[in-house]
Amino acid sequence: MTALHHTSDAAADAALLDMLTGPNPRAAKSAFARRDAALDPLLIAAAFASGPHVTRNHYHHDFFPGVMLPKAEGAWDWTKYTGEDASKPPRKKYAYVSRQGPRRQRLASSEETKENDEPRETEPLKPADNLPLPSKKRRSSVVAVASATISDATSRHRSQSILGSAQKTDTSLPPLEVRCMARTRIPTPHGPAFLHLYHNNRDSKEHLAIVIDPAQLSDSPNSIPVASPIRSRSLDSVWSETETEMDRIIRGAYVGRLSSASQQASTPSSEPPHSRSLGGVIPPPLIRIHSECFTGETVGSMRCDCGEQLDEAIRQISLPISLPSTPSNPSGTMIPGRGAVIYLRQEGRGIGLLSKIRAYNLQDMGHDTVTANLMLGHKADERGYEIAGAILRDLSLGTDPSTSSISEGVRVLTNNPDKVEALKQEGVRVAERVPMIPRSWQQRKAATDATAAHDHAHIIVADSNDVAGATMIGGKAVHGEDLDKYLRTKVLRMGHMLPLWMEETELIIY
Ligand SMILES: Nc1nc2c(ncn2[C@@H]2O[C@H](COP(=O)(O)OP(=O)(O)OP(=O)(O)O)[C@@H](O)[C@H]2O)c(=O)[nH]1
């Protein structure tokens, strides 16, 4: 009886909802008019142009078949389009093929139903969807490098050159492999960086390396003494015989500064990079192994110092290096800073964002961060550094990839001794640990010192660290050539309603 009562209640609710929100024109005139978003004219144009099989959902997907992608049926290479030939019969129309399965199917797959931060099943190393599969036949000159980094279906051998000596004892796991899928230049408030995106065969996360090595952008690299460039061996490898130079450049395997005038593909290096370095003169590269923190880095949460640490690491690594004077160069030399932040997607010390948010509530209730983790059934710290080790090997940082012998090492920015130990276990030579002192502490100490020196109660000390932050909400305003260009394009080409600021001209308000 109660169930029946509930059913009829639900039906009545649904009817009421239909009446209030349905496409009934009389209802629309009422106070409860439909609240659909305005129709996008581009969407209507796309629907007319393509027919009823293209739905609103397709419009949001990449439904165009990839150029030169053999598996995409109906793909047509638009780069070869030179206009319609009026003398020929009209060309066959190509159907748009969605490469995404129906949502029902996707939801049923384990990938999307799992909780965001659950560890996923091991997947084999896959190339990006739009890149050619690695070929089994390779030119002998590139085999040495390519085999070190590219998964081969016939062989699961792990090359010591990239994967190093840090074999995992868990034999149920395949040997760890990482591959840099793409690299691009990123201007930061502290100077240029190269963002490297990695895939691996341990988890399905996209770990990153922010490489700082502006000497690579120099027009005349030989004019100053430079250390060997920090390059990814897996990125610079030739992935297949069908891969063109342009394919390689697009994925970031280029040298120098990429521009409309300069597009030079890199060559796979068989030399250990440090063999060209000025051994002993240049300090080892400065690195940081940083763990993802959405709250600290994106929201600017002041619950932790993660945002500041990321920013501070990029700042410190970017600082120019002063080389000591030599008989041939008595005044000494400054060279650009060099190093990398390895950015691991292990949010919340590996417990994931969901658990970290719950842990924060426990912390609000009076527990500390460690207890909160334990109360949720997690360890205090669930992070691992194998992938960081593999990425460092790929970048030849702290390891000599060709001989597995000890290299110049790295200086590591951290206060966490476990990290130093984990890196050592990965075969990385830690030449020095560089502490990360919180900026607020530095500031307060400087203020205290100044107060003591001048015997004034309220001196505010200008802090040399007080520069715009790369990731901190509330950082000072930044501007630069790339940002200006982008904003200008948004105003002039994409109709963004912004005042157009050009340095040499007047302010134009649209
Ligand atoms: N579970 C949990 N994770 C946190 C909390 N605060 C920050 N984190 C995470 O901690 C990680 C950063 O670790 P930290 O302990 O701050 O520093 P560290 O990397 O161990 O050490 P340093 O190299 O010295 O910075 C990031 O993944 C953050 O998301 C917290 O209250 N609870």
Answer yes or no: are the C-beta atoms of 385 and 422 closer than 8 Å.
Answer: yes
Rounded CA-CA distance 48/46 in Å is 6
Express each pLDDT in 273-330 by its tens digit.
544 445 567 899 999 999 999 999 998 888 888 998 999 999 999 999 988 877 777 7
Mean pLDDT of 500-505: 49
- The sign of the torsion formed by the CA atoms of 131, 134, 137, 138 equals positive
From the list 183, 231, 338, 383, the catalytic residue is: 383
Task: Tell me, in angstroms, the distance from the centre of ligand 1 to residue 430's CA.
Answer: 21
Judge contact between 315 and 467, C-beta under 8 A: yes
Atom index in ligand 1 nearest the CA of residue 378 equals 1
Q: Residues enclosing ligand 1, CB less than 6 A?
A: 291-293, 304, 306, 309, 346-349, 351, 356, 359, 369, 373, 414-416, 419, 436
Q: Of the residues 304, 311, 361, which should be mutated to test ligand 1's pocket, given the most ligand atoms within 8 Å of the CB? A: 304
pLDDT tens digits for range 235-258 = 999 999 999 999 999 999 999 999
Mutate to test the pocket of ligand 1, among 117, 207, 293, 355 (most ligand atoms within 8 A of CB): 293
Instruction: Look up tokens 């393509």; give the residue.
Output: 50
Q: What is the ipTM of this complex?
A: 0.98
In the prediction, which pLDDT does 153 show?
29
348 CA distance to ligand 1 centroid (A)? 6
Whole-number mean pLDDT of the chain?
Answer: 73
The closest-lying atom of ligand 1 relative to the alpha carbon of residue 294 is: 29
Residue nearest to atom 24 of ligand 1 (CA): 415
Residue with CA nearest ligand 1 atom 31: 369
Task: Spot the catalytic one: 152, 203, 381, 484.
Answer: 381
Atom of ligand 1 nearest to the CA of 303: 6
Residue with the bigger pLDDT between 188 and 155: it is 188
Q: How far is the CA of 353 from the centre of ligand 1 (A)?
A: 12
Q: Which residue lies with its CA nearest to atom 18 of ligand 1?
A: 416
Distance CA 248, CA 242 (A): 11
Q: What is the rounded CA–CA span in Å between residue 289 and residue 386?
A: 11
Domains of the chain: 19-63 (no CATH), 140-346+383-434 (3.40.50.10990)
Cα of 306 vs its chain's centroid, Å: 16
Ligand 1 centroid to residue 446 C-alpha, Å: 26
**What separation in angstroms does the CA of 73 have from each of 77, 106, 454?**
12, 21, 77
Atom of ligand 1 nearest to the CA of 351: 1
Q: From residue 240, how far is each of 155, 171, 244, 277 by CA, in Å?
A: 16, 30, 9, 30
Nearest CA to ligand 1 atom 3: 348
**423 touches 388 (CB < 8 A):** yes
N residues, the chain: 510
How far, in Å, from the CA of 42 to the mean position of ligand 1? 44
Question: Which residue has a Cα nearest atom 25 of ligand 1?
Answer: 414
142 vs 261: which has the higher pLDDT: 261
Structure tokens at 253: 């395997």
Residue 411 is predicted with a pLDDT of 96
Statement: residue 364 has pLDDT above 70: yes
Residue 319: half-sphere exposure toward Cβ, Cα within 13 Å: 14
Q: Give the atom of ligand 1 at the shortest distance from the alpha carbon of 356.
A: 1
Q: Could you tell me the pLDDT band of residue 506, with boundaries at 50, 70 and 90?
A: very low
Residues 446, 461 contacting (CB under 8 angstroms): yes
Pairing of strands 207-212, 333-335: unpaired
User: Is 463 a catalytic site residue?
Assistant: no
Report residue 189 as tokens: 């408030």
Q: Containing H/E element for 43?
A: helix 41-50
The answer to whether residue 381 is catalytic is: yes
Q: What is the DSSP letter of 326?
A: B
Which atom of ligand 1 approaches the CA of 369 most closely? 31
CA-angle at 328, arms to 323 and 329, nearest 5°: 40
Give the model's pLDDT for residue 441: 73
130 or 223, greater pLDDT: 223
Predicted TM-score (pTM) of this structure: 0.67
Nearest-CA residue for atom 1 of ligand 1: 348
The H or E element containing residue 45 is helix 41-50
Q: Which two tokens stand for residue 155?
A: 């062989």
Using the mean position of ligand 1's atoms as its centre, give its distance from the Cα of residue 444 in Å: 23
- 3-state secondary structure (DSSP) of residue 233: helix
* Share above pLDDT 70 across residues of the chain, in percent, rounded to a whole number: 57
Centroid of chain to Cα 133: 22
What residue owns the CA closest to ligand 1's atom 11? 349
Strand-pair category, 430-434 with 410-413: parallel
Which residue's CA is the closest to the ligand 1 atom numbered 23? Answer: 414
**Best substitution site from 287, 291, 411, 434 to test ligand 1's pocket, by max atoms within 8 Å of Cβ?**
291
